Amino acid sequence: MSDPSESVRVEGVHLLRDRVALQEALAELRERGDSLALVPTMGYLHEGHLSLVDQAHGSADTVLLTIFVNPLQFGEGEDLEHYPTDLEGDVRKARARGVTHIFAPPVSEMYPDGPPVIRVDPGPMGKRLCGISRPHHFPGVLTVVARLFALIRPDVAVFGRKDYQQAVLIRQMVRDLALDVDVQVGPLVREHDGLALSSRNVYLSPIQREVAPRFQAELARAASDFLGGMTEARHLVSGVRDRLERGGGMRVEYIEVVHPETLLPMETARVGAVLAGAVHIGSTRLIDNVLLGVRDEDPRLPPSDRSRRA
């Protein structure tokens, strides 16, 4: 859409492709006295991302959305080279939700000296759940988020609840490093049949797409069991795992009941505990979570609005 060294205005949006253009835009916003909300994404926007934009508008004068497929958070054999992108479509969707500034740098602009030598270590909290199978993921996520915070210095940053562990780690990083950012967590948006919106859903074949909603359905069933009095975490976990594996077409990576702030496993589930999991359907990895004993307020798209590019 533009040369990486340029800043252009596309359909009413300032598309910033390098750090110089970013700093010029930020200086203008600060001169106006605008407060700033940041919504970091890897692009290929769907309604989940856009709901975060909506939330950000309620917290600041200006929303800056970033689009950057961060190589640091992909391990060997993962989908970095095939991660879906659509910058033009993303600009249109963001503009329709009131975004005026998008920072979409190439890798050479985010990491001009090559991969950073110093990276943010997530500690023990990042070595559980998704961190077991993806040991490089959270150090990469925290490093790029810290870099974005340093470059942009937002007042507010909004992340989605689908990536629950990520949100907890970012909040912990902000506390531990005394970063002056208000980290908010937005809702988990679902398709009409319960499948959590994800850019990776596009990888699912039609048959796999029919299988995928069982993941959320079994988490929801366990949440109902909790309300019915089942509080032993091992029973909640084994029930979800057994039903998913018996149903076929899905390989369970993990199902756990964890504390909502420490991510430590819980023997006895309490209100607010997180039932989180990851499964594989073919080559596609899906994550999801439910909050036990908390009213389900995850918005769902009506069937007519369902997009295969979720």
Q: Where are the domains of the chain?
A: 7-186, 199-305
pLDDT at residue 295, rounded to an integer: 86
Looking at domain 199-305, its CATH class is: alpha beta
Looking at domain 7-186, its CATH class is: alpha beta
pLDDT at residue 11, rounded to an integer: 74
pTM score, whole prediction: 0.94
Measured CA to CA, the distance from residue 48 to residue 186 in angstroms comes to: 9
Q: pLDDT tens digits for the chain (310 residues)?
A: 445 446 677 778 999 999 999 999 999 999 999 999 999 999 999 999 999 999 999 999 999 999 999 999 999 989 999 999 999 999 999 999 999 999 999 999 999 999 999 999 999 999 999 999 999 999 999 999 999 999 999 999 999 999 999 999 999 999 999 999 999 999 999 999 999 999 999 999 999 999 999 999 999 999 999 999 999 999 999 999 999 999 999 999 999 999 999 999 999 999 999 999 999 999 999 999 999 999 877 899 998 554 444 4
Report the catalytic residues: 49
